[in-house]
Structure 1
Amino acid sequence: MLDLVKVAAQMGTVGQLIRQGAIANQQKQTRALAVLTAMAENLEHYRQALQEWGESFPFNAAEPLESLTVKHTVPPAPRAHTIFATDGSQIAPSHHEIAYCYLINVGRVAIAYGQSQRPHLDSVPQLVYDPDELERSRGWGLTIEDWLRYRRTQAEMLALVELLHTQHAKAPSLALVDGSLIFWAWESLPSMVREELLRPILAAWDQLRAKRVPLVGYVSASRSHETVNFLRLGVCPYPEPNCALHCGQGSSTVLEVTRDRPPCHVFDALRDVLLWQAHLAPQQHSSLWRSRSRILEHYGAHHIYVAYLHGGSEVVRLEVPQWVAQDADLWQRAVSLTAAQIQKGRGYPVALAEAHNLAVVRGSDRQRFFALLERELIKAGHWHVAPSPKEQRKRQSIV
């Protein structure tokens, strides 16, 4: 049981630290806006520097495709349109339960606006009992939790495309998923594992491209620094921004100029959303930026581009494949329909909220799931079916 009285005694320190951090971020935000404006006057120079020296950077910086200071007004959404969305959750395997299996549950939503159709709302559960698969994941150096999360991401993407095939939308459509389309953690996976996860997803995206349905990864409360990191070039004092040479370990110049910290670290901890929150007004979005994450080398024609949209209650990160970013009609549709979803949901897309509600596995669902599994095991002849003594005891209390 949590003792809130003891917790409350520690809250004062936390509040002070948060306030100090907010003041520091505001100062960095002001500095970043000034650098953004200055760099816009010589943008091509900085883009060339990024392309030439980016491999030496110890950070990931995105590449802008337009003027840094441009602000686009969100176009109005067509009256008739269709939104497809998926989200997922899971029950992780546990050695303390009656069977070592896992469940992935994907919520699917299709909402047709202005077409006199009822919304499609359902969930697709996938029960997996495959000891060999779980053993393989351990052999690859992955935890069961990581492997399950990666498989859930894959299931969400495949369920989205399957939903499009069954609904046959006639009006302009948008495919929406919660979270990033850049699978950052997959970069360090063994190549065979990465291909097993990524290949079906890219094939599904090929189908979206053929149907001309734009795909958007909606990232709320993004912690990305990709666009802010590009501004580091604007404060670098060296004629060539070679981080490995000037600011790497053992460099003699780093101590003289920065007193143990590289000059570009003035933007440390400043997230992209804070920069664009200060630059954009509600119902405006930034220019598109090309992400330079290394995992995208494996995406082929689906390289990911990003932009920031001020939806009113927050600035959100939108991620789209290259074929959406390079098609003006698809990109404008993606922005307008996403913004319309934010307005309809009073701050968060309706379709994503509904997909989440359909996917989430609550405590009562978990109990019924294992009760159903226990019944089936007994029917199959397993008479000694019960959780471990530890798990049984944890479910009881003397309080």
Structure 2
Amino acid sequence: MLDLNKLAGQIPGISQHLHQETIASRQRLELAEKLTQQAWSQQTELIEKLEMWRDRLIFAIATPVEPLDTAIDIQAAPYSHSVFATDGSQIAPSHHEIAYCYLINVGRIMLHYGQSLHPLLDSLPEVFYKQEDLYIPKEWGIRLEEWMSHRRTVSEAQMLAEMACKWVLPPGAHPDIPNLAMVDGSLIYWFLDGLPVEAREQILPPILLAWEQLKETQIPLMGYVSSSRSTEALNFLRLHTCTHEHPNCFANCSDLVDRYPCQKVDPLRDATFWANRLKPGQRSPLYRSSLRILELYDESQRVYFCYVHVGTEIARIELPAWVAEDSALFDRSLSIMLAQVHKGYGYPVALAEAHNQAVVRGSDRARFFALLEHQMIRAGIRNVGTSSKETRKRGSIA
């Protein structure tokens, strides 16, 4: 039990710290605004410098493909359009349960506007219990809970492509209706960078194949990142604030361990900066990400991003190159996304509903293991039951 009386004495210190941080953040914002104006006047030269020295930098810098002072109003969404979305949840494995296995549940959403069509709101569960699902990840040094999350990401991408492409292609035959496929979170799977090659090959290729199916069907894909902590766009200013003639981090700053001279506005985040520059319904310049994991993506699937003031927050919007480089498709996708945010009162309604369909509650978990226990007893397995620890926890009187 949390003792609030003992906790109350720490609250004033938190308030004072947050007040000081607010003042410092305002100063960083003013400096970032000034540096952006300076970098905008020499943007072409800085991009050339970035391309020349990128392999000598120790931090990721996104390349702006539009002027740094860009702030564009997003147009209204077309009257008739469709939105597809998936999101996943899981039941983690436990040695204290009646069987050591895990479950992934993917929520599927298909919403149609201006078409007098019924929506799709359901979920598809899958149980993993085989040896290769449970024990092989340990050979790669990957915790099972982490591997389960990676497998969930694959399932979300595959089910999104399957659902959307079946609708757009015959027998559905709705190719002329604008549409958008959305996922919650980033399209840049940076976590794969630290995985063994064997593990990575089981995760990334199926995802990219699903993306390719969307591309062939001309269904634009978008990743919606709420509360982004990225600094990839602001890092472009570090080329301008670099104190050396050439931005060669390995040669110039390899002996520094604390703070680099070019970190003038750190730890200011991209979203915080653009909240100060964008009005509701506007987007920032488009950037091309340069994170190392993207070298494993096909050229048409390299990720671009921009920031959008959706009214309640600054969202980071990510798209594959084939969508971002088609200006009409890009603008239409943003308009559908913003309409989804408005319908969801601050968050895309399709993603919110996909989450609601996917979430596994405590009662669902209990019913799943009860069903599994019944099936094991029917199969003649004896001594079926939870561990003493789990039984005691469930019957606690505290």
The TM-score with structure 2 as length reference comes to 0.95
Map 1:20-39 onto structure 2 (within 5 A). 20-39=20-39
How many Å separate the matches in 2 of 1:386 and 1:14? 46
Per the TM alignment, residue 108 of structure 1 is displaced from its structure 2 partner at its CA by 0.4
Other-structure match for 1:47: 47
3-state SS of 1:265 partner: coil
Q: Could you list the per-position Cα deviations for residues 173-203 of structure 1 after superposition, in whole angstroms to 9, with x for gaps in the alignment?
A: 0000000000011011112221211111111
Q: Could you list the per-position Cα deviations for residues 106-149 of structure 1 after superposition, in whole angstroms to 9, with x for gaps in the alignment?
A: 00000000001121100000111112332110111111111011
CA contact (8 A) 2:101 2:134 kept: no
CA contact (8 A) 1:309 1:316 kept: yes
Q: Could you list the per-position Cα deviations for residues 39-62 of structure 1 after superposition, in whole angstroms to 9, with x for gaps in the alignment?
A: 011101111111122222221111
Other-structure match for 2:133: 133
Match of 1:359, as an amino acid? A
How many Å separate the matches in 2 of 1:54 and 1:77? 38
Pick closer, same or farther for the CA change 1:396–1:5 going to 2, 3 Å.
Answer: farther
Match of 1:389, as an amino acid? S
Other-structure match for 2:65: 65
Other-structure match for 2:266: 268
Match of 1:289, as an amino acid? Y
CA contact (8 A) 1:217 1:320 kept: yes
Other-structure match for 1:280: 278
Other-structure match for 1:385: 384
CA contact (8 A) 2:165 2:214 kept: no
Match of 1:360, as an amino acid? V
3-state SS of 1:95 partner: coil
Pick closer, same or farther for the CA change 1:9–1:374 going to 2, 3 Å.
Answer: farther
How many Å separate the matches in 2 of 1:379 and 1:3? 48
Other-structure match for 1:357: 356
3-state SS of 1:376 partner: helix
Per the TM alignment, residue 158 of structure 1 is displaced from its structure 2 partner at its CA by 0.5
3-state SS of 1:105 partner: strand
Pick closer, same or farther for the CA change 1:283–1:96 going to 2, 3 Å.
Answer: same
Residue 375 (structure 2) pairs with residue 376 (structure 1):
yes
Q: Could you list the per-position Cα deviations for residues 250-307 of structure 1 after superposition, in whole angstroms to 9, with x for gaps in the alignment?
A: 6xxx9xxxxx632222222211101111111111001210100111001112110111
3-state SS of 1:22 partner: helix
Q: Could you list the per-position Cα deviations for residues 218-275 of structure 1 after superposition, in whole angstroms to 9, with x for gaps in the alignment?
A: 000001110011111121121111111222116xxx9xxxxx6322222222111011
CA contact (8 A) 1:61 1:291 kept: yes
Other-structure match for 1:314: 313
Per the TM alignment, residue 378 of structure 1 is displaced from its structure 2 partner at its CA by 1.0
Paired-residue identity, %: 49
Match of 1:320, as an amino acid? L
3-state SS of 2:306 partner: strand
Match of 2:27, as an amino acid? Q
Other-structure match for 2:323: 324
Per the TM alignment, residue 313 of structure 1 is displaced from its structure 2 partner at its CA by 0.8
Match of 1:298, as an amino acid? L
Match of 1:274, as an amino acid? T
Match of 1:262, as an amino acid? Y
Other-structure match for 1:217: 223
3-state SS of 1:28 partner: helix
| Structure 1, 143-152 or 234-243: larger mean CA deviation | 234-243
How many Å separate the matches in 2 of 1:74 and 1:241? 36
The TM-score with structure 1 as length reference comes to 0.95
Residue 144 (structure 2) pairs with residue 144 (structure 1):
yes
Q: Which runs of 5+ in 1 are unaligned?
A: 255-259
Map 1:157-196 onto structure 2 (within 5 A). 157-168=157-168, 169-170=174-175, 171-196=177-202
Match of 2:181, as an amino acid? A
| Structure 1, 293-302 or 52-61: larger mean CA deviation | 52-61
3-state SS of 2:222 partner: strand
Per the TM alignment, residue 2 of structure 1 is displaced from its structure 2 partner at its CA by 2.7
How many Å separate the matches in 2 of 1:83 and 1:321? 17
Other-structure match for 2:294: 296
Match of 1:282, as an amino acid? P
Other-structure match for 2:91: 91
CA contact (8 A) 1:154 1:197 kept: yes
Q: Which runs of 5+ in 2 are unaligned?
A: 169-173
Residue 209 (structure 2) pairs with residue 203 (structure 1):
yes
CA contact (8 A) 1:225 1:271 kept: yes
CA contact (8 A) 2:57 2:249 kept: yes
Pick closer, same or farther for the CA change 1:229–1:352 going to 2, 3 Å.
Answer: same
Match of 1:131, as an amino acid? Q
Per the TM alignment, residue 36 of structure 1 is displaced from its structure 2 partner at its CA by 0.8
3-state SS of 1:352 partner: helix
CA contact (8 A) 2:165 2:217 kept: no
Per the TM alignment, residue 29 of structure 1 is displaced from its structure 2 partner at its CA by 1.3
Q: Could you list the per-position Cα deviations for residues 325-344 of structure 1 after superposition, in whole angstroms to 9, with x for gaps in the alignment?
A: 11112111111100111111
Other-structure match for 1:398: 397
Per the TM alignment, residue 15 of structure 1 is displaced from its structure 2 partner at its CA by 2.4
Match of 1:248 among 240, 254, 266: 254
